[in-house]
């Protein structure tokens, strides 16, 4: 979860003011819609882990509020996983579902940033200072961007 938080923090911070509504083409999701979906994914993952699976399809809020909501949801899911509480759905199913989908959508936002002329610098993530349990927006500075 910390690796996802690190990568997400990089693409969610310092976006242009109008980025949330950027439309890459007809019928594509905006970054704001993708971010709202990311929030929903980790609310859903936590509900699966707790054994009370619910899906909520929310509309985008502000970029700032949805960014905070995403990190809150990711942190709550991470804390539940680390708590030792029983998982009511096998971990591999949650990871192949919500977690893998989350990584995909973070990548989509990165691509949309490039299309919106606000690219994120590439980085060697293998040497990033990613720490287990650090699932908030406040992430360490990159070690090896290029």
Please answer whether residues 20 and 37 qualify as being in contact, where contact means their C-beta atoms are separated by less than 8 angstroms.
no
Averaged over successive runs of 10 residues, the pLDDT of the chain (146 residues) comes to 98 97 96 98 98 97 98 98 96 96 98 97 96 97 94
Task: Please tell me the predicted confidence (pLDDT) of residue 146.
Answer: 93
HEC letters along the chain:
CHHHHHHHHHHHCCCCCCHHHCCCCCCCCCHHHHHHHHHHHHHHHHHHHHCCCCCCCCCCCCHHHHHHHHHHHHHHHHHHHHHCCCCCCCHHHHHHHHHHHHHHHHHHHHHHHHHCCCCCCCECHHHCCCCCCCCCCCCCCCCCEC
- Lookup result for tokens 């007809």: 26
Task: Please tell me the predicted confidence (pLDDT) of residue 122.
Answer: 95
Render pLDDT for 71-99 as a digit per residue (tens, 0 to 9): 999 999 999 999 999 999 999 999 999 99
Task: Please tell me the predicted confidence (pLDDT) of residue 7.
Answer: 98
Please answer whether residues 142 and 122 qualify as being in contact, where contact means their C-beta atoms are separated by less than 8 angstroms.
no
pTM of the model: 0.96
Task: Please tell me the predicted confidence (pLDDT) of residue 71.
Answer: 98
């Amino acid at each position: 979860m910390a690796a996802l938080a690190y990568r997400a923090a990089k693409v969610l911070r310092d976006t242009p003011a109008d980025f949330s509504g950027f439309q890459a083409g007809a019928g594509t999701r905006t970054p704001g819609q993708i971010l709202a979906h990311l929030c929903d994914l980790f609310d859903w993952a936590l509900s699966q882990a707790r054994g009370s699976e619910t899906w909520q399809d929310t509309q985008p809020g502000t970029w700032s509020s949805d960014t905070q909501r995403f990190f809150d949801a990711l942190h709550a899911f991470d804390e539940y996983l680390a708590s030792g509480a029983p998982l009511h759905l096998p971990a591999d199913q949650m990871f192949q579902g919500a977690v893998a989908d989350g990584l995909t959508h973070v990548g989509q936002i990165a691509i949309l940033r490039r299309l919106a002329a606000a690219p994120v610098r590439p980085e060697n993530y293998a040497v990033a200072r990613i720490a287990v349990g650090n699932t908030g927006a406040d992430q360490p500075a990159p070690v090896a961007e290029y």
